[in-house]
Each structure stands twice: as structure tokens, then as C-alpha cells.
Amino acid sequence: RIAVLLEADSLVTLLFSMTSSASVGPNANTEKKQYLCLFHAITSGLLADNLGSDEQEIIEMIYLIIDIEGKQTVGLQREYIRSSYTHVLTDECKEISGIDETLVFSSELNLDGALRKFDIFLRENTGVNVTFVCENCLHLRQCLHPESAKKSISLPNYYWKYFDLRLEFEKMYKTSECQNLISMSEKLNLCPISETDYCMRHIKLMELIVHQMLNDGHHFKEPESIMINLQQGICSMEDNIEESTVVRARGLPWQCTDQDVAKFFRGLNIEKGGVALCLSTQGRRNGEALVRFSTVEHRELALRRHKHHIGQRYIEVYKASGRDFLNVAGGSNSEAQAFLQRDGQVIIRMRGLPFDATAKDVIEFFTRGDIPTYVVDGEEGVLFVHYPDGRSTGDAFVMVKTENEASQALLKHKETMGARYIELFRSTTAEVQQVFRRSQDPKNFQTSLKDIPYAPLPILPPEMLTGGNKKDCIRVRNLPIECGIEQILEFLGIHAQHIIAQGVHMVYNAHGQPSGEAFIQMDSESASFNAAAHKNNKYMFFNGKKRYIEVLQCSGEDMNQILLGLVPSNLIPTNLQRPAMYSSHRATSLVPMSTLPPQMLSPNMSMSLAPPNQSSTIPNIPLTSTIPSTSSAPTMNGLHPNATFYPMQVFYYPTPSISPSIYLQAGQMHPTPMTFVLRGEAGQY
């Protein structure tokens, strides 16, 4: 038996048990042996159960190596580590640990140096197969791994597996009451340790407990693994996700990738495809991500990293639900699912593509230049994103096989394709599903005016609205553009009970944008009078802001006049550029009333929102050509004969905020309420 004791600033104590001088270096015998390395660390901040939650640096680490077969301690190493950012220890740290500040700040080793020194000791003197044992998971998961990731320190393999002493103790002695070293030692009737040094006292207690467990026949099997790299995975809307395993991270840099998020949570195990970057309504990353962990315990540890940093930005971490994660990462699009199952490692998102770009154009974009990048499966591996009508959104996804190829491909960021520069971003499976789901959602499908079929033009059934001069309606103005029907009902309060069925009409302007106005039909004139009297110029609180709302009593005729543009309103901008009008029969771009076929000008026909006693419907007769008329055309509701049709969108309560049924195919009539606006040149009436 040879004992070597070295004492210096680093306080290294090495003890070896050797049978001959030849066993000093690594050999076949030592390599086959199994060793446990008891590990304990303290930081310059909080200790005990809060270790690592304040993002402070490690200032002391201690290792103790035990030969499992021989059931004896063979090595001890202790290192003080100079802090890179902290120059004063907290009072709590000094009081609890009793550590001497001079030993910390006079140390010549930083964290990387201390890790290298221990690694050299293992490789040069033992050549052992080491598995770590920690009092709990905090020392590795919440301290060493997050700090090494932040400082870009590569950890050896033996730091990625460990035994949690509390869990092993519970397995061995079938008890869950012992949650710290003191209670474990009392359970085993071990003699108390008189050591005053905090770190050394803990490592010696661990040594006594582990030796007793080995003597009692415990076998240390199945160590816990720490996730090395985030793995990609596909999430379906039908997946059953544990509610208590998801967090929302907020405040991420806009260029943050899923790998950056995984790096922020280094030490905790994330499910495959468990990082879902959230997108804004414009399809850009909004600085939030939903992260799904493997266990509830890891999610609780993630919540402790609230306001830890990525660079100079602090990240907020909150609880989220499994449904929140599915709403972002889940998908059911077969085309996207097939793409995600291709044999590639990295997904790249392309944005800003010409709308007529083909897969061949995309392949040519990546292969041109001195260092070409080859897309997985060639042209078949290009995934374009489309709107429900088949139009391209200008986005596409491709997949490459390796990280090196991805890095080369991303160098083409903002290179041109035709006359357009192309943006390239590293993407994720969750982002692919999210982009596809949003592109197919009618709520996010913005149809331009030229894409709405115009012939024949459906007429709003007049029975849907009141008519005449009976003032049983109210006109609500100055609404926030994001405001919905629910917010209007909440604003009206008790007066909302007097609204008739399907009596709330949200009005969009000729550009298809919210006009900030709504018309509401009440069940009596007195109800509309009271609503206007009590709610006019009152404040609506919306999205943390308040604005006053105008509520005016009006009649069905007044409503008609406003929608038809006969009185001033913000529904139709005066500088509106008239769009071309399309139908399956290629009607001319403008349709003056004087050119309508005679059979469409029935004496009983009313346009748009006329009272019931003046109304009828327009037959479904295609506008095959314009028919010039030499005779004077009839005037309808006081409109000039050359008034032009413009599409208006009016949504009815309680129908959805956007209904696909408003986009009719040419030649079809539909029972859903519809309207259009008649408007001529300024000064014509």
C-alpha cells in the first residue's frame, strides 16, 4: 500500500491502492474495474436545496473516488476555482460554507482549468471507469452543466451520467423519508462527522453512506443520463402530453434557435422535438418558445432558471400546459409529416421566395458557387408552403444531412434568386408544422380583392336587417381594430341582452380590414336609446389600453345609407384603387349599372340593404359581356347609374370572426348573409 499526500493551494490528496509498481499507469486490470466518483460543488451564491437557482459561479469542487470491488477510497481531489464575474462572496455563502475568500480569489485555476486538471489525474494515474455520485441532481444539472455550456466548455463523457444518492438510498432501504445526508446517516446509525468545513463535511458523509450501502449489498446500476444533444421529433395534434412537463420561455433573442434554447436548459432532459419556437402573426419568431421536458422534476428545475441569461438578455420562464405546446408544435398536414420523416439532420427555412419559384430553382440556389450544398432527396425534398387556394406564401423548407452542410448553406443568407434576396434560417420540426398550420388556417388567410369572385354578385337577404325609420339599431364607432364581438358584448354590459339573434354586424372596409365600426340591432327603440345614452363616449379597456367609444342610435335606413357610402364613414377610403373584377367568364374590370343586362334590372329589385318591401334577388346570370345602353338607366336608391360594385365583408354574431363561406365561387348563391357596396366617382351624386 502506497499513500501519497500532496498539500498545496489546490489541496490535492491522492491515495492509491496498488499491488505492484507496474500498476501505477492504466492497464487492463484497472480499466475493467468500476469506480464511483463522489462529487460535490458549491457556488458563490445560494447553497443546499437552492443551489444553482441564482446563476452564480462554482467556486469549489471536490472529488472522492471509491473502488466498488474493493469497497475502499482510492483518491481525493479538491480544487478552489477563481470566479470570472464575481469579486465578492455573498454573506450567506460565507456564513454557511465557511469558505475563505482568499483561497478562491487567489486561485490560479478557472473552471476549465480545474476540469482539465481532474481529467489529467484520472487518465495518467488510474485509467478508471468512473461513474459520478451526487447528493442530489443540483450539482451537475443545475450548476456544472449550465455554467460549462455558458462558458463553452466541453465536458468529458463521465460528467453525463450519475447516480442520485437520495434515489439510490430510497431503492436500497425502501424509504422516502431521507432527503438529505444528515437523515440518511441517522437512518444508518452512522457516527456524526465533526468536520467544520462545509464541502469536506458533505463529501465525507457521502463516503460513509456509500460504503455502508456497498457493505449492505447495494449495486449501483442504471445511472441517470443527462441529455447531450437535442433530438428532432414530430409532434401530432393527437399526442397525449403530460400537462406538468411544459414551460414557456420568453425574451429570447429573435435569432435564437432550438439548439440555443436547449443550451439554455443544459443539464435538463428535453423530449425529442421538445423545443417549439413561437411565431408572430407575420410568421416571424416572436422571442418565445415552449419547451417540453421528459419529467415533471426537470420542468420544476427549469422554472428555477427564471431570469437566467442568454448573453445580455434575461429569460423569463413560466409554466405552460400540454395544450399550449400542441397548439404551437402539433400538426396533421400529411405533406409536412412526410417532409419531416426524410433522412436529414438540419432543417433550413427559406423566406422571400418568388411566388413562381420551383424546386429546381431552389436546388440551383444551393448548388451554385464554389461550395455547393446538396438538399436531401433533391427536388422532391423541397417543401413549399401554400395558402388554401394554392398560392405560394414565399416560404419553403429544405433539409440537409450534416451540421457542416447546414453551416455552408446558411452562408447564402440574403443571396438573390432572380430579383429577390432570400432569407435563410435554421428551423425546427415544430416550426415546419406551425408555419403549415397557420398557412392553412382561414383566420390567417388574407384574400386580396382581386381573388374574390364577382359574378354573379350575391345580394344580402333583406330580411336579415331591419328597415325603415324605426330607430332600433345602434352604431358603434372608434373600436380597436383587434376588437371582437366578445369585447363589444362585454362593453355593452346589461344592454347586450336586448340584442336580437344575429344582430351584431362587424363591418370590414373595402380593403378587407377592420373598419372600427359595428352595427347592432336591438329588440326595441327604447333598448337602442338606453344603450346609446349610457354607453356613448364611455371607455373600453382593451389590451391594457383604454379608448372612448361612440355609441349612436340609428335606424335600419341610416345603416343602409352608411354602408352604401351615401353619408360620410371610414368604411371606404376616398383614395381606394379599384381592383380588377374577375369571374369564370372574364367579366370586364368595372361593372357600371348602366351596362347590366336588362333582365337583372327587375322593377322589384333592390340593391344591398334596402327595406324588405323594396327587395328581391338577382338571378344567377353570368356577365359574359358588357352591354352598352343608349337609354337612360334606372336610378336605384338614389345612386348614380354608373355606381361601381365593391366587395364588403360583414360578419354576423354569433358566427366565427372569419367565415370561409364569404368567399363564394362564381355562379353560386349562398344562404349566408353577404353584402356589397355601391359607390361612384366623387361628386356624381
Instruction: Measure Cα distances from 608 to 366, 460, 566, 591, 675 in Å.
Output: 54, 6, 13, 15, 6
Both 255 and 177 in one domain: the answer is no
Pairing of strands 161-164, 72-80: unpaired
State yes or no: pLDDT of 152 exceeds 90. yes
Say yes or no: 97 and 181 in one domain. yes
Do 323 and 363 lie in one domain? The reply is no
Q: Please, are residues 192 and 205 in contact by the beta-carbon 8 Å criterion?
A: no
Q: Give the domain CATH number at 555.
A: 3.30.70.330
Are 268 and 378 contained in the same domain? no
Contact at 8 Å (CB) between 517 and 571?
Answer: yes
Banded pLDDT at 565 (limits 50, 70, 90): low
- From residue 487, give the alpha-carbon distance in Å to each of 492, 503, 649: 9, 15, 19
Which stretch of 248-262, 356-370, 463-477 has the lowest confidence by average pLDDT?
463-477
Pairing of β 285-293 and β 270-279: antiparallel
| Domain boundary, last residue among 264, 294, 329 | 329
State the Cα–Cα distance between residues 59 and 51, nearest whole angstrom: 12
644 assigned to some structural domain:
no
Alpha-helical (H) ranges within 304-347 are 322-329, 334-340
- 303 plus 393 within the same structural domain: no
What confidence score (pLDDT) does residue 298 get? 97
Q: What is the pLDDT of residues 297-340, one digit of tens each?
A: 999 999 999 999 999 999 999 999 999 998 888 877 788 888 88
Contacts of 381 (CB under 8 A, 6+ apart): 339, 342, 344, 375, 398, 399
Global pTM reads 0.60
- Say what the alpha-carbon torsion angle 269, 271, 273, 279 is, to the nearest 10 degrees: -80
Which residues lie below 8 Å from residue 441, measured CB to CB, with a gap of 6+? Answer: none
Same domain, yes or no: 39 and 100: yes
Say yes or no: 314 and 366 in one domain.
no
255 shares a domain with 206: no
More confident residue, 659 or 425: 425
Q: Does residue 197 fall inside a structural domain?
A: yes
Q: How many angstroms separate the CA atoms of 96 and 91, rounded?
A: 9
Residues 325 and 355 grouped into a single domain = no
Average pLDDT over residues 512-539: 88
Looking at the fold, whether 423 and 373 belong to one and the same domain comes out as yes
CB 145 within 8 A of CB 226: yes
Last residue within a domain, chosen from 564, 579, 611: 564
In a domain, 624, yes or no: no
Does any domain span residue 59?
Answer: yes
Residues 6+ apart with CB under 8 A from 646: 510, 572, 576, 578, 676, 677, 678, 679
Rg of the Cα atoms in the chain? 36
**Per-residue pLDDT tens for 605-630?**
333 333 334 333 333 333 333 334 33
CATH of the domain at 164: 3.30.420.10
Residue-range definition of the domain harbouring residue 312: 246-329
Total domains, the chain: 4
> Within a 13 Å sphere around the CA of 647, how many CA atoms are in the beta-carbon half?
24
Of 588, 513, 516, which is closest to residue 550 (Cα–Cα)? 516
Partner residues linked to 14 by β-bridges: 4
Per-residue pLDDT for 473 more than 70? Answer: yes
Inter-helix orientation angle 165-173/198-215, to 10°: 30
**451 or 55, which is more confident:** 55
Q: How far apart are CA 40 and CA 133, in angstroms?
A: 9
Tell me whether residue 625 is in a domain.
no
- What is the SS3 assignment for 367? helix
